[in-house]
Amino acid sequence: MTSKTTASLMAICIACATAAVGQTAIAQTTSEQPPAQAGAGAAAAVSGDAQQQPAETAPAADAPAAEEAPAVQEAGGKLVLPNGQDITPDHMENGRWYTAEDIPTFKIAEDGTLDYAAFSGYRRYSAECHVCHGPDGEGSTYAPALKNSVLKLDYYEFQEIVASGKQEVNTAANLVMPAFGTNKNVWCYVDDIYVYLLARGAGDLPRGRPAKKESKSDDFAAQEDSCMNG
């Protein structure tokens, strides 16, 4: 996160439009894009299943900045992340898939059908994270590509950052990752967002709105209800 100062500063200038006036000289020295086509993500927020993907996320093949090395390795019949975390789906609980170590994970059927929790994560990501982190976990000039972050952070580190936030110190740009621990629209779905990003990072899920998904199970609905209304 070091060399991003200028780009980030500019990103903030654009986000705040009016603040940009005094910063024109800086802004003009870079050719970076503004963060995450900010308006699109914000506007797309919490609508339901009918939510539209912003147009610019349309087809686009896989990430240009993609990994040279395979993101996920197979070892002894298991799928393992570069950070050593096993992501092989093992059992279901409350309508969500978990690994043998009870870490949330995703499952994509052979015909491409995505499990419901990961689909839920896609929706929540698009509503709450997209605005800064870019469409489909791809990142922006303002905030990192979370589809890559989940390959290096482990599940608990991810949770901790989403709960408590993070602030880049030591820069005039003042990058801020907000704390979401008290925001139920995020916190009740944090595992869903995590597994959606895992599916993206593992390279198993194409960009855009997942085409085929499982329907919501009663278990999932009950758990969701008790979290949102509890």
Lookup: tokens for 122: 């896609």
- The string of DSSP letters for 190-216 reads HHHHHHHHHHHHTT-S-SSS-S-BPPP
Choose which of 71, 193, 198, 202 interacts with ligand HEC (CB under 6 A).
Answer: 193
SS3 state at 20? helix
How far apart CA 166 and CA 177 sit, in angstroms, is 5
- Which C-beta is closer to ligand HEC: that of 175 or that of 199? 175
Smallest gap from residue 76 Cβ to ligand HEC (A)? 28
- Which C-beta is closer to ligand HEC: that of 79 or that of 175? 175
Residue ranges of alpha helices (H) inside 44-115 are: none
Smallest gap from residue 160 Cβ to ligand HEC (A)? 9
Smallest gap from residue 139 Cβ to ligand HEC (A)? 9
Choose which of 20, 38, 161, 163 interacts with ligand HEC (CB under 6 A).
Answer: 161
Is 166 a residue that touches ligand HEC (CB under 6 A)?
A: yes
Is 118 a residue that touches ligand HEC (CB under 6 A)?
A: no
SS3 state at 224? helix
- Which C-beta is closer to ligand HEC: that of 122 or that of 158? 158
Which residues 119-148 are close enough to bind ligand HEC by CB under 6 A? Answer: 128-129, 131-133, 142-144, 146
Smallest gap from residue 28 Cβ to ligand HEC (A)? 23
How far apart CA 85 and CA 62 sit, in angstroms, is 23
- Pairing relationship of beta strands 96-98 and 78-80 according to DSSP bridges: unpaired
Is 81 a residue that touches ligand HEC (CB under 6 A)?
A: no
Is 155 a residue that touches ligand HEC (CB under 6 A)?
A: no
How many angstroms separate the first and last alpha carbons of the chain?
38
- Which C-beta is closer to ligand HEC: that of 131 or that of 205? 131
Among candidate residues 1, 14, 156, 11, the one with its CA nearest the CA of residue 85:
156
Contacts of 17 (CB under 8 A, 6+ apart): none
Between the CA of residue 4 and those of 9, 29, 67, 82, 190, what are the distances in Å? 8, 13, 20, 25, 27
Q: Which stretch binds ligand HEC (CB under 6 A): 51-59, 106-114, 175-183, 214-222?
A: 175-183
Is 106 a residue that touches ligand HEC (CB under 6 A)?
A: no
Choose which of 116, 158, 196, 220 interacts with ligand HEC (CB under 6 A).
Answer: 158
Q: Which residues in this chain contact ligand HEC in the complex, by CB under 6 A?
A: 1, 128-129, 131-133, 142-144, 146, 149, 158, 161-162, 166-168, 175-178, 180, 186, 193
